[in-house]
C-alpha cells in the first residue's frame, strides 16, 4: 500500500500581513518553533511517508523558496500552478501526476501552514484514515473537536453512525456547513456532533479522479488533455500553463465533498491551529502575567492582552489593551484584536492606492 501526500502551498497568508508578504508568505515563516511552517509539515509527514512520495502544489513565485527550504524534495515533486484556482484544481492536477507515478496510492491532502502539536497522535489518525479510505472507496476528512464557538471555520456535521477503527471513532458525515455566525457556532458546539473542518482529506487517487469525472466534468476534460499531452511532451510546466486557465475556480469541498455520501470524519484532538490570523498567537504561545504575547525588543507598562512583535527597534507601550502591534522593516501594523480577520482590507486599499511595494 503506497501512501502519498499533497501539500497545498500557494497561499499568500494575507491575514498575517505585514509579516507575511507576497515574496515570503506565512507558510515559509517561522511562526512557532525552530522551522518554517512548511518545513514542520514536511517533517511531520516524513514520520509516515517517504519524501519521494510527498508533493507540493504551489505557484511559480514560491518554487525557489520550496527548493531552498526543502532541498531533499525531488524537483519533479514540486507542482507549479500558473494561477490560483482554489483547491479542486490543485487536488485534480496533483492526483493526475500522482496516479501516473503511484497508480495504487492513497493520497493525504493537507495545507502547508497549520500547527499540529502532537505529531504522534496525528500520524496515528492518518494511518487509520488511510485504512478507512481504502475500504469501499471512502472519502475521509479529519474534524477538529471544537473548544469554543469559532466563526472563522467551516464545520462538518456527523451522523449518529459511528464505527471503531484502531480504537478511534469514525463518524459518517451528514454534511459540510459554511462559516456560521456566533449564535449558530455556539449551537454547533453545544450539539456535540459538529467538528471544525481541518481542510485535511484522505482518499485513494483513482477514487478522487473518478469523482472528478462524475461531478466536475469540465475539470476532468482539462486533466485528460494534460494526461495525453504528458505522454508525448516533456515540458510539463508549459503544458500546465497552457491548460490550467481552463480549470474552474472551485473548492474541493463544494465540487466534491458536499455532493457525495460515502464520507467519514475522524474527530481529532492533537493541538491543531490553522494560524489564520494574528490572534492565533494567543492560542499557540505563552502569555505573560497580563495576557500579552511579546516577541522582540518590547517595553510595556499597563499593557494588557496585546500581541506585540518587534523587528528590532524598541516598541514601548503604555495603558493599552487588546491591540495587535507588528513592526517590520518597512511597515508597522496597529489594529484591535477584533479586526484581526479584516487585515486583508488594508491590502485591498494598498492595491487601490498602487502601493504594491508594501504587499
DSSP letters spanning 127-146: HHHHHHHHTTT-EEEEEE--
Domains of the chain: 2-273 (3.90.550.10), 285-358 (no CATH)
The mean per-residue pLDDT over the stretch 283-296 comes to: 95
Helix ranges (DSSP H) in the chain: 37-45, 63-69, 87-101, 119-134, 182-191, 205-215, 217-230, 236-243, 252-255, 280-284, 344-352
Are 93 and 81 spatial neighbours (Cβ–Cβ below 8 Å)? Answer: yes
The mean per-residue pLDDT over the stretch 261-280 comes to: 93
pLDDT band at 186 (very low <50, low <70, confident <90, very high): very high
The mean per-residue pLDDT over the stretch 270-280 comes to: 91
pLDDT band at 336 (very low <50, low <70, confident <90, very high): very high
CA 290 – CA 97 distance, rounded (Å):
51
Tens digits of residue pLDDT in 86-133: 999 999 999 999 999 999 999 999 999 999 999 999 999 999 999 999
pLDDT band at 235 (very low <50, low <70, confident <90, very high): confident
Return the pLDDT at 232.
86
pLDDT band at 136 (very low <50, low <70, confident <90, very high): confident
Tens digits of residue pLDDT in 10-64: 988 899 999 999 999 999 999 887 899 999 999 999 999 999 999 999 999 999 9
Predicted confidence (pLDDT) at residue 315 exceeds the cutoff of 90: yes
Indicate the average pLDDT of the chain: 94
Return the pLDDT at 9.
96
Ordered strands of the 307-309 beta sheet = 293-295, 307-309, 323-327, 332-336
Tens digits of residue pLDDT in 203-225: 999 999 999 999 999 999 999 99
Return the pLDDT at 234.
77
The mean per-residue pLDDT over the stretch 314-336 comes to: 97
Of 183-192, 226-235, 241-250, 345-354, minimum mean pLDDT range: 226-235
Q: List the grid coordinates of 77.
A: 515533486
Predicted confidence (pLDDT) at residue 339 exceeds the cutoff of 90: yes
215 Cβ contact partners less than 8 Å away, ≥ 6 residues apart:
255, 256, 259, 260
135 Cβ contact partners less than 8 Å away, ≥ 6 residues apart:
none
Return the pLDDT at 334.
98
Amino acid at each position: 500500500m503506497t501512501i502519498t501526500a499533497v501539500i497545498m502551498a500557494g497561499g499568500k497568508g494575507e491575514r498575517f500581513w505585514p509579516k507575511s508578504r507576497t515574496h515570503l508568505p506565512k507558510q515559509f515563516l517561522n511562526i512557532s518553533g525552530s522551522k518554517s511552517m512548511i518545513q514542520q509539515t514536511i517533517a511531520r509527514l516524513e514520520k509516515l511517508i517517504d519524501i519521494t512520495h510527498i508533493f507540493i502544489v504551489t505557484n511559480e513565485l514560491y518554487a525557489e523558496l520550496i527548493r531552498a527550504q526543502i532541498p531533499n524534495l525531488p524537483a519533479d515533486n514540486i507542482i507549479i500552478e500558473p494561477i490560483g484556482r482554489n483547491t479542486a484544481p490543485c487536488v485534480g492536477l496533483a492526483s493526475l501526476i500522482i496516479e501516473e507515478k503511484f497508480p495504487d496510492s492513497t493520497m493525504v491532502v493537507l495545507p502547508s501552514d497549520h500547527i499540529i502539536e502532537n505529531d504522534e497522535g496525528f500520524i496515528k489518525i492518518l494511518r487509520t484514515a488511510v485504512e478507512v479510505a481504502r475500504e469501499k472507496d471512502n472519502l475521509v476528512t479529519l474534524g477538529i473537536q471544537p473548544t469554543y464557538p469559532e466563526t472563522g471555520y467551516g464545520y462538518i456535521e456527523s451522523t449518529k453512525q459511528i464505527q471503531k477503527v484502531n480504537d478511534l471513532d469514525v463518524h459518517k458525515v451528514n454534511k459540510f456547513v459554511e462559516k456560521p455566525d456566533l449564535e449558530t457556532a455556539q449551537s454547533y458546539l453545544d450539539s456535540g456532533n459538529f467538528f471544525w473542518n481541518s481542510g485535511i482529506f484522505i482518499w485513494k487517487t483513482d477514487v478522487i479522479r473518478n469523482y472528478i469525472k462524475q461531478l466536475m466534468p469540465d475539470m476532468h476534460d482539462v486533466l485528460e488533455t494534460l494526461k495525453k499531452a504528458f505522454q508525448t511532451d516533456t515540458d510539463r510546466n508549459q503544458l500546465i500553463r497552457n491548460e490550467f486557465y481552463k480549470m474552474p475556480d472551485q473548492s474541493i469541498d463544494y465540487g466534491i465533498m458536499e455532493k457525495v455520501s460515502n464520507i467519514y470524519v475522524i474527530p481529532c484532538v492533537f493541538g491543531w491551529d490553522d494560524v489564520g490570523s494574528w490572534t492565533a498567537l494567543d492560542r499557540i504561545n505563552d502569555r505573560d502575567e497580563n495576557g500579552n504575547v511579546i516577541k522582540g525588543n518590547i517595553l510595556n507598562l499597563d499593557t494588557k492582552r496585546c500581541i506585540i512583535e518587534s523587528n528590532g527597534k524598541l516598541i514601548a507601550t503604555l495603558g493599552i489593551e487588546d491591540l495587535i502591534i507588528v513592526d517590520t522593516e518597512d511597515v508597522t501594523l496597529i489594529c484591535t484584536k477584533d479586526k484581526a480577520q479584516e487585515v486583508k482590507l488594508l491590502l485591498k486599499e494598498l492595491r487601490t492606492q498602487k502601493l504594491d511595494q508594501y504587499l
